[in-house]
Chain A
Amino acid sequence: MNNTAALRDMSSIRQQQSRFEGLTPGHRACQGCGQALAARLVLESSGPDVVVANATGCLEVFTTAWPQSAWTIPWMHSVFSNTAALAAGMEAAFKARDISTKVLAFAGDGGTFDIGFQALSGMIERGHNVLFVCYDNEAYMNTGVQRSSSTPVAAATTTSPAGIARTGKRHLKKDIVAIIAAHCMPYAATASVAYPNDLKDKVRRGIQTPGPAFLMIHSPCPLGWMHDSAKGIEVARLGVETGLVPLIEMEYGQQTSAMPLRRVRPVVDYLKPQGRFRHLFADDPMARQELAHLQALADHNIAHYGLQESQPESGDSHAAASVRRGTVAVVPPGAV
């Protein structure tokens, strides 16, 4: 672009942004990191009156290379598996001190589905007023892409590689939301970085929920999913459009909403751009079977969550992530 504006003082422009920047640039996330984006969107929605407990993982590592921090909210990292308990402790302290600051907990899928699950279950059972956000990139990315219980079936990771005898991960992705919802959970939802308005709405709802709330955000990892760094949003959107990533809300164990699919795409559209599924396109009966398996899972999701049952409300741009012409904050003179 031509750069009259770029020559201006960027920091003063940055200070005038009409959104809250809880996570600043200067973080060391990979190019096109879905988790960095998701975390910023979460904080954009939560505003500054929050405290974050963060699990060990990429998000922690790339934001806090001492002496620098990319966080502008109070933030704390303890260890990998205790994030929910850390948040619970903060929340208990705020309760004891009569402070209204909302406590958020951030963890990846490993820190949610696997090593952090016990603490999370305990936190929910005890009813702590915490919004737990799981940035789900479907593997242990921080340590170099090892499989987690969130890794989808057939995805290749460094510990579930594809080979002559294996087509990637042999086990299903754990249905964590159902498990969470089964705690008589006031609010549990899934979101995707490809649908930022929906995501932000769900953060708001989670924050407004008195008591525990859970939000799982499908967050593409270009490194681990092996797609072009520019394609993160596209891949995430395809995940939703194929039905493999249902965007739902559950309240007290009951599903209360599902983002309707405008048009359903075949799972291959989602799988093709991702290197972790490359082996499924080999001329091999096992690969074909797993492809069919993934399609069946998507079909099952569509039926199970009713992804095609409801019609989008008119003007429901959240669900479509559609755009329309916007305006700048200051209306130009002469506008009607």
Chain B
Amino acid sequence: MLEPLEGSQAIAHAVALARPGVVAAYPITPQTHIVEHIAKLVADNRLRCEYVSVESEFSAATVALGAAAAGCRAYTATASQGLLLMAEVLFNIAGLRIPLVMTCANRAVSAPINIWNDHQDAMALRDAGWIQLYCASNQEAIDTTIQAFLLAERLELPVMVCVDGYILTHTLEGVSLPTQEEVDHFLPPYTFAHTLDSRQPLTLGTMVAPDHFTEIRYAHDQAMYQALAAIEEVDAAYAGITGRASGGVLEVDGPDDARIGVLCLGAVHGTLWEGREQARNLPPAKLIKLRALRPFPEAALRQALAGLSDVVVLERAFSPGAGGIVAAEVCRALYGTSTTPRIHSAVMGLGGRDIPLEAWQQVLALAQGPSRGATVILDLIPDHLEDGIA
């Protein structure tokens, strides 16, 4: 039987299965249940690690960084404001090429303050140099979390596992946890080539002048591109052990003759999938679940979208004054291909606004309608707008 676990609890178990040496935690809604469950596992001696209850997200990221540099598998989790407070350290971790894993329980960013789900927080950090993987279900959250440790340590790159706040973190679903043996088989003990060791001293975090800075950034960029293949390999290796894959860098499903594609990230994928199931009178459409936002799988996307006439990119965040963020990146990926589809940029579900089953119809209508040329907020309620705002 599947285990009925709340998303946060499932993630906590996945982290525990990875046997981290140090977990650093600072509470923020909706990440709290994750770190609470880990604390309880430690309290019950089901997880042996140093659990460091820090005084801020800034320190949470830093403690994880210090621990990873000092030879321990390290983990932390945050969301929203916490992620932004970490921002400086997150860039630093990536630049230092420190392998560690963090869960981002995605949430809107203030102001206005809002504790509910969207993807604005992680999107804001997309240039931090971290691998960003998005999960569509609690099962994927478990599997991706475990895979993230292997990816991070293999590539010497930090991995952010993005999980929709509340929608996944606070939702109980039946999930399958791998056994400890399976995880131990999949994930070797932690190693880091530049571990701080008084017997083999190294200097980490030097100041690099203009004559070499570009090359270090370039190397980082290259490592991220190499991660695309690694993400696929690790997912496949994990499937080899557990029988479950999470979709590599992206996953496509739908009829071969479909001319419409809908691309999304995170848990909304299930809603759209269900919507498609229930609206069989609508034209066939492919669903593209983008799992890796960073590195951005341009080649895989070109392949996945080949032959489509219209692609809707549905996002839970946008860049004010510029529109859909992922849509822009998809455009860039497809630019110059021979049969570039029309790209429709759509935004829904900001700040926890529910994306209902009926969203599918809206999305398809958008795909079938005229090009709008700009990002459309599909669930905007004009009545709620102040007078004078179009």
Cross-chain contact B56 with A122 (CB below 8 angstroms): yes
- SS class, residues of chain B in contact with chain A: mixed
Tell me if A75 and B201 are in contact (CB < 8 A): yes
Contact A122 B54, CB 8 Å, known A86-B65, A88-B66: yes
A96 to B54, CA, bound (A): 17
Asked if B35 CB lies within 8 Å of chain A CBs, one says: no
Q: Is A60 an interface residue (CB 8 A)?
A: yes
The reply to whether A64 and B89 contact each other, CB–CB distance below 8 Å, is no
For residue B53, which residues in chain A have a CB less than 8 angstroms away from its CB? Answer: 126
A-B contact count (CB 8 A): 166
Task: Give A119 to B89 CA distance when docked, in angstroms.
Answer: 13
Within A40-90, which residues are at the interface with B (CB < 8 Å)?
48-51, 53-54, 60-61, 64-67, 69, 71-79, 81-82, 84-90
Q: Number of A residues whose C-beta is below 8 Å from B?
A: 47
Q: A76-B204, A79-B92, A97-B21 are in contact. Are A92 and B198 (CB under 8 A)?
A: no
**Binary interface encoding of chain B residues 182-221 relative to chain A, with 1 for a CB under 8 A from any of its CBs, else 0:** 0000000000000011101111111111001000000000
Residues of chain B contacted by A86 (CB below 8 angstroms): 62-63, 65-66
In whole angstroms, what is the CA distance A96 to B47 when docked?
12
Docked complex Cα distance between A73 and B201 (Å): 5
Shortest beta-carbon distance from A94 to chain B in Å: 6
Please report which residues of chain B, range 49-68, place their CB below 8 angstroms from some CB of chain A when the two chains form the complex.
Answer: 49-50, 52-56, 58-59, 61-68
| Contact status B62-A78, CB under 8 Å | yes
Residues of A within 8 A of B50 (CB): 92-93, 95-96
- Judged by a CB distance under 8 angstroms, whether A229 is at the interface is no
Across the interface, do B55 and A118 meet the contact criterion of CB distance under 8 Å?
A: yes
Q: Does A101 contact B (CB under 8 A)?
A: yes
Given A93-B71, A119-B58: A64 and B203 interface contact (C-beta under 8 Å): yes
Known: A64-B203, A66-B206, A77-B205. A96 touches B198 (CB 8 A): no
Q: Determine how close the nearest CB of chain B comes to the CB of A8; give it in whole angstroms.
A: 27
B69 lies within 8 A of A76 (CB): yes
B201 touches A72 (CB 8 A): yes
Contact A82 B207 (CB under 8 A): no
Q: Which residues of A contact B (CB under 8 A)?
A: 48-51, 53-54, 60-61, 64-67, 69, 71-79, 81-82, 84-97, 99, 101, 118-119, 121-123, 125-126
The 19 listed contacts between A and B (C-beta, < 8 Å) are: A51-B196, A54-B205, A60-B205, A74-B198, A75-B203, A85-B66, A88-B66, A89-B52, A89-B65, A89-B67, A89-B70, A91-B66, A92-B22, A93-B22, A93-B72, A97-B71, A99-B71, A119-B58, A122-B54
